[in-house]
Structure 1
Amino acid sequence: MVKKKNTPDTTRTEGKGGGKGLFGSLKETLTNERTAYVTGLLVCLFVIYAGLAFLSFFFTGSADQSEIENVPLSDLVINQGSVENWTGVRGAVLADLFMNRWFGISSFMILVFFGTLGARLMRLTRVSLLKRFLFCAAALVWGSVFFAFAFRAGYEDSFIYLGGRHGYVISNLLTGNIGIPGVVLLLTGSFLVIAVCTSRRTVPFLQRLLSFAWLGGLFRRTAKASDSISRPKKKGEEKDKEDEGEGETPAEPSDAAADDDAEKGYIYKDNEGFEITVPRDEEEYTPPAEPADFAEPEEQQPFPPNPSADDEEPFDETELGEYDPKLDLSNFRNPNIDLLKKYDVGEHQIDIEEQNANQRKIKQTLENFNISISSIKATVGPTITLYEVVPDVGVRISKIRNLEDDIALNLSALGIRIIAPMPGKGTIGIEVPNKDPQIVSMQSILASRRFQETKFDLPVALGKTITNEIFIFDLCKMPHLLVAGATGQGKSVGLNAIITSLLYKKHPSELKFVLVDPKMVEFSIYSEIERHYLAKLPDSDKAIITDFTKVIHTLNSLCIEMDDRYDLLMKAHTRNIKEYNDKFRSRRLNPEKGHRYMQYIVVIIDEFGDLIMTAGKEIELPIARIAQKARAVGIHMVIATQRPSTNIITGTIKANFPARIAFRVSSMIDSRTILDSPGANQLIGRGDLLFSQGSEMTRVQCAFIDTPEVEQVSAYIGEQAGFATAHLLPEYTAEGDGDKSNTVDMSDLDPLFADSARLLVIQQQGSTSLIQRKFSIGYNRAGRLMDQLEKAGIVGPFEGSKARQVLIQDEHTLEQKLAAING
């Protein structure tokens, strides 16, 4: 027996695939580049043919009208020589159909649309077909009605109907209903609507036209011209103007211009007009020489011993002179600049060949994509060179922005960033990393005249911009700062730069730090300045906080301090800490009524993400309170994280931290989380950062300060006389402390009591943090659960750093225990 072939199966499979392949092949045919090009070419050829037919109609339409009117097309084809239209019988019929019977002259808009369609299929243009269709349709209808209305008088005597029959029917209908003035207004209004929707320049033009400001300029020019004609010129004036003209001919730069160029920096120009600007480094500040012998200051009585006891009387002891808060540490000296390392960078050397090669490659890349530019110039910074490109008229900015990866590929750069357009300039910026970046030392930043003479209340010198300018901001005006970046991109160095800047400018009596260091190693080098600059809770052994439970207590203590300060501001009738301290220094506030000099408090939290994951809302809520209200009373926050995700940097945090520093991150999503815009993912690392405040964004190379330099600064401060102890914050009693800490009420068990007991018995580990992580609760609630479990005999007592011992070994015994407790 012959075996049957599997023809049906094959046929079924092929038919199934063929059905699917039919639509797939049709789609592939329509989207195929070659097919699309051929289709577009045929459409363009038809447009040219129809255009010739329409154009010929103006010259031959009168003769052809009698030949083609009421004659079948088949008869016309037989008598091909009977028409004079350049495109033959079919062209004559087509032209008569569109030009006379339909839309008239505005029928050319149909050819415009189909011409755009053909060019789009041939990939000659990227014009939006929908926008072009809407424009052509509106212009077709409007033009038909307009020409019919404007030339309605000669309709019967002419062989060509300029508006077509469509236009004449609508025109007569409108004229009969709203009259001639109504039709004029309707056509004018519709024309303006079409113009506004078509071009963005229409609205500004109409605003200038309807404001009649051009009439005033016309009158002024007319009056000026008449004055110049009526008033003869004096000989002296003519001679002076001739001398001025002769002086301007050589184009010799003046001394002022030369000074401006010198301040701007070195400028190199080549024969092709490419300009390279190398900004000068800022001048180093030389402090005035201090006298050799320091006179011992007189002992100052801060306030009179017997102040006025009458509450209603205003307190005024200005005759004693101003109160100086620095007297307690009158011999304290801020750190010396020599403690910081000075890198031998020397003069800002640049590689002209590198700059010329980069600008040629940028030009070539843009030209490869049919983008022409009129000029390009470069500004060389310490680590980044900014190329400012001026595109030709008509070049879309988005085309250049989309070529970011192509430009980076041709330049062989680590990554480039395109700023299109640059704020305040008519250029497009392309930031390219230098092949030989320079170190921006903290010594050069703090020794600059700009930092030494700054009048900011809390000046933070962060580094240098692309134009080699020292970048300094006032933390009081921020008022809080969010720092984020991936591991190893310079975040810790940036925090050290912030702290060091403040240590070099502020006296210990004016500034206190609250340092939170969950990693336990970042801020430990500042332990030596505890009695000078640090603040802590009264019951804390160390000022640098490493335990997250202490973090919660410290933040809540700062909230208490904030509320106390607001009470003092209210009593003093002042609005902020600056006004309050000025009033206190002038001795117009009575210390016996609780008034005191307020120091600025800067809270710096490292690894904020770890704290949020551990404590959650118990950390976020006090931070939100401080961020919302504490600006006026001199409490400012700087929080840093290496995990810029939305569950760490929540909407509450972002809303209250308008100033942000972003070091390099791994993805655009992280950049948008920090800055609300891309850009941080295109940085090159090693201290390269973006500083954002509101809508402004500045690229800065963070100043480098090494750990030995920080240690020397801390040692220098620690060797000087300080206060008796660190600044003590208000006491804070946590929820669950006090009376409940000694007695546990077993009648009011937590809803998670049974689940927590089962968890600890299964894991055989009596850990509070385990309960926190498993049930996503705060430390206080987890601590109360642990106290209840201890009271119930499920876990043992507290054993210091060790986990508690679990007293029940199996779940069966635990269930019996729970049943006894509930029963």
Structure 2
Amino acid sequence: MLKLFWALPFVLAIGYYSYLNYEQFVAMNYLSMIPVVVFLVLIYPLVSFLHVLAEDRIPLYKRIYRLWLTANFLNEQGFYYEKASGKQGGRSKKKFPKVYLKQGKYDLRLYLGTQGSKFQDRFSRIGSELETTYFMDFMNKIDEEKFVVYELAYSAFLNRIEAKDVVLNDNYELVLSKVVKWSMTENPHLLIVGGTGGGKTVLLREILVGLLKKCIVYIGDPKRADFVPMEDLDVLKGRVFFEKEDIAKMVGDFKQTMNNRYDYMRKIAKERSERELGRFDTYGLKPTILMIDEWNALMASLNRNAKVGGQMIDDLLEIILKGRQVGSYVILAMQKPTYDDLPTKLRDNMMHHISMGRLSDSGYQMTFGDENANKKFRFIERLNGKKVYGRGYSAIFGLPAQEFYAPNLTAGFSFFDIFETYSRIENPHEPNYQGDVDKEDDVETQDLIDLDEPIDLPIQTLSDSTDFKTIGELSKSIGKSFGQIKKLIDVIEKGGFKKFKRDNGKVVLTEEDCLLLEGLFDSFESFDGTWKEMVSIHFDRDADN
């Protein structure tokens, strides 16, 4: 019908031309007939081209076309009532049931009437058929009082963002497109699946653009290729591993870090007299991320050492089951989530799944679960005549998958240039942290976050420090974190008010120092100003006395 709309101007043009050249036609002037023949030959391909072009470029035309698609689908599938004609030999009339179509910018809702309809049972099972009809992704089916509602998504390509725009927002949602976000607190742990060349590794790097600025990330790269060079960056120094034994140890250390964070949170909760343990960010903790690429290859390389591989799986399972509350999350990338490499208990507790490139039917089934068993997963190699990169599907586990396009890499974009601008976030809870024994976190409070970087001071080596306390020991006795005490010391030293002694590079405190710091913390609770202002007032007062 819509093609006839485009054909009408050409038919009228041919008719008008024939009218003007009627005498030539009667006289069988073949030269005058040639334009008509050419028009008749070209009219169908030309009309088809205009139809496709308008469908792609004109939103109103696309909406009208979908209305026609809906009517055609109902007619072809037999979703109509027949009413016999009152005249003998007359044609029966067709009547469609109640059907409404609501079209948005990126989605479509189809309302199918069910109350008393003879089609109500069939209407509840046509999700996959609608995907094929509209060439969209079936997102959800909602049962309402009088209708069954199908939600379908389209124009996923228009939702694509650039790699530089990947961010972790204040709600701990990693923005991967205009509509796809990984909420690490609501849907912890991310599984990325895709064959060779599908774009998994590029997506992991794009994810780092958003994570490294606000999170502590540890990376396992068994391929020794894409992430190993990043170990030279300050933000990832000592946090990238490629030997299989080192990766297994990284997982074990990450588990211990998670448990240390639990201990720290319980301690602070007890000091606050809290009955319930809160979320990690209420205790000043940053998210910690365990990212491993090519998980299948890592497990294959550990087959000869079943003890190491088995322990790593146990450690990973504990992290996935317990890590959410303390902000410890896992990202795994692999070619196929087989049971041998990723047991079902692990896979089903990784709540956000993404596929990249083309997977087999069984690969899609294992990645997105039984809820998408009837979904038609499409592999699109070209879009509007251009080769497609970074296309896949995304879903929260247990919900329908939707089409997804990974962030776009623009010309001149460099991951290393971005990562070099990020400041390193220390993690005093990790087992191998090179700091004082207490390993308290850098709690960000309003009075300390504005401090500059600690200054370099000359080290005073003491032959015997048994009469001194460490910062960690003072922290335990006064209930303040290691990070808070250390930064207060930096304020005092950088202001030139006092130099603290050091033993082998570490600050050691006399009894007088401990009383001073404890008194400053007590005074600040009732002080209306900054730490720098209070420290200055305190030492100026002592000088006057």
| TM-score for the superposition, normalised by structure 1 | 0.36
Higher relative helix content: 1
CA contact (8 A) 1:516 1:551 kept: yes
In structure 2, give the amino acid aligned to 1:442.
Answer: E
> Is 2:225 aligned against 1:521?
yes
- The one-letter amino acid paired with 1:614 is S
2:377 corresponds in structure 1 to 682
**Partner Cα separation in structure 2 for residue 374 and residue 662 of structure 1:** 37
Which residue matches 1:571? 267
Residue 568 to residue 410, structure 1, CA distance change in 2 (3 Å):
closer
Please report how far the alpha carbon of residue 402 of structure 1 lies from its aligned counterpart in structure 2 after TM superposition: 5.9
Please give the alpha-carbon distance, in whole angstroms, between the structure 2 residues aligned to 1:403 and 1:633: 42
| Cα 1:361–1:550 shift into 2, 3 Å | same
Aligned to 2:122: 399
1:701 aligned residue: 404
SS at match of 1:390: strand
Task: Kindly indicate whether the alpha-carbon contact (under 8 Å) linking 1:664 and 1:681 is maintained by their aligned counterparts in 2.
Answer: no
Unmatched tracts of structure 1, length 5 or more: 1-347, 466-470, 537-542, 583-597, 733-823
* Matching residue's letter, 1:608: W
* 1:387-430 alpha-carbon deviations (Å, 9 max, x no partner): 5242454254663576677667766x5xx544562377944436
Asked if the contact 2:139/2:400 (under 8 Å) is kept, the reply is no
1: distance between equivalents of 2:337 and 2:359? 10
1:554 Cα shift? 0.8
The CA deviation at 1:623 is 0.6
The aligned residue for residue 198 of structure 1 is: none
Q: CA deviation digits over 1:490-537, x for unaligned, max 9?
A: 434443343222245x2xxxx211112223333356445x322x263x
Q: How far has the Cα of 1:650 moved from its partner?
A: 1.2
Which residue identity does 2:62 align to in structure 1?
E
The structure 1 residue matched to 2:431, chosen from 730, 735, 740, is 730
Q: Map of 1:324-335 to 2, 5 A cutoff?
A: none
Residues 442 and 644 from structure 1, CA distance in 2 versus in 1: closer, same or farther, beyond 3 angstroms? Answer: same
Residue 614 (structure 1) aligned to one of 301, 316, 323: 301
Determine if contact 2:128/2:376 at 8 Å carries over to the other structure: no
Structure 1 residue 643 displacement after superposition: 0.5
Match of 1:603 among 290, 308, 314: 290
Q: Which residue of 1 aligns with 2:68?
A: 360
Match of 1:636? 329
Amino acid at match of 1:499: L
- Alpha-carbon distance change, 709 to 675 in structure 1, aligned in 2, over 3 angstroms: farther
Q: 1:375 maps to which residue?
A: 99
**Is 2:177 aligned against 1:455?**
no
Letter in 2 for 1:711: S
Q: 2:141 aligns with which of 399, 412, 421?
A: 421
Are the equivalent residues in 2 in contact too, given 1:386–1:431 (CA < 8 A)? yes
Matching residue of 1:480: 189
Aligned match of 1:531: 234
CA distances 1:561-614 after superposition (whole Å, capped 9, x unpaired): 2233333334334535637735xxxxxxxxxxxxxxx44211111222222233
**Aligned-pair CA distance for 1:555:** 0.8
Q: 1:661 to 1:580 in 2, by over 3 A?
A: same
Deviations 1:635-670 (Å, cap 9, x if unpaired)?
A: 211112221223233122034323333456534433
Which residue is 1:562 aligned to? 258
Q: Indicate conservation of the 8 Å contact 2:199/2:356, yes or no.
A: yes
Q: Give secondary structure in 2 for the equivalent of 1:522.
A: coil
Structure 2 match to 1:711? 414
Quote the Cα distance in structure 2 between the aligned partners of 1:444 and 1:720.
13
Map of 1:388 onto structure 2: 110
Q: Is the 8 A contact 2:195 2:359 kept in 1?
A: yes
Matched, 1:546 2:242: yes
- After superposition, the C-alpha distances for 1:212-236 in whole angstroms (9 at most, x for unaligned) are xxxxxxxxxxxxxxxxxxxxxxxxx
Q: Distance in 2 between matches of 1:441 and 1:472?
A: 12
Matches within 5 A, 1:22-37: none
CA distance in 2, matches of 1:520, 1:659: 26
Judge conservation of contact 1:359–1:376 (CA < 8 Å) in 2.
no
Which protein has the bigger strand share?
Answer: 2
The Cα offsets for residues 85-118 of structure 1, whole Å up to 9 and x where unpaired, read as xxxxxxxxxxxxxxxxxxxxxxxxxxxxxxxxxx
Distance in 2 (alpha carbons) for counterparts of 1:357 and 1:366? 14
SS in 2 for 1:672: helix
Deviations 1:694-741, CA, capped at 9 Å, x for gaps: x544635344232866625x3244257768x99894259xxxxxxxxx
Judged with a 3 Å threshold, the aligned counterparts in structure 2 of structure 1 residues 692 and 397 are, in CA distance, closer, same or farther, namely farther
1:438 aligns to 2:158 (yes or no) = yes
- Note if contact 2:392-2:404 (Cα within 8 Å) is conserved in structure 1: yes
1:495 aligned residue = 204
Cα gap change, 1:553 to 1:699, in 2 (>3 Å): same
Q: How many residues align?
A: 337
Q: In 2, are the aligned partners of 1:475 and 1:636 still within 8 Å (CA)?
A: yes
Aligned pair partner of 1:464 in 150, 161, 178: 178
CA separation of 1:359 and 1:708: change in aligned 2, threshold 3 A: same
- Which amino acid counterpart does residue 77 of structure 2 have in structure 1? F
CA distance in 2, matches of 1:565, 1:578: 8
Q: Provide the rounded CA distance (Å) in 2 between the counterparts of 1:525 and 1:731.
A: 22
Q: CA RMSD in A?
A: 4.0
Q: Which residue of 1 aligns with 2:343?
A: 650
Which 5+ residue runs of structure 2 have no aligned equivalent? 1-55, 80-95, 271-276, 303-308, 381-389, 434-545
Matched-pair identity in %: 15
Encode CA deviations 1:185-207: one digit per residue, 9 max, x unaligned: xxxxxxxxxxxxxxxxxxxxxxx
Q: What does residue range 119-158 of structure 1 map to in structure 2 within 5 Å? A: none
Q: 1:369 to 1:517 in 2, by over 3 A?
A: same
Q: Aligned in 2, Cα 1:356/1:701: closer, same or farther, shift over 3 Å?
A: same
Equivalent-residue separation in structure 1 for 2:432 and 2:148 (angstroms): 57
Cα offset for 1:552? 0.6
Q: Match of 2:533?
A: none
> Greater relative contact order (Cα 8 A, min sep 6): structure 1 or 2?
2
* Corresponding residue number in structure 2 for 1:673: 366
Instruction: Give the letter aligned to residue 377 of structure 1.
Output: L
Give the CA deviation at 1:545.
1.9
Distance 1:634 1:392, change over 3 A: closer
Instruction: Tell me, in whole angstroms, the C-alpha distance in 2 between the residues paired with 1:631 and 1:526.
Output: 27
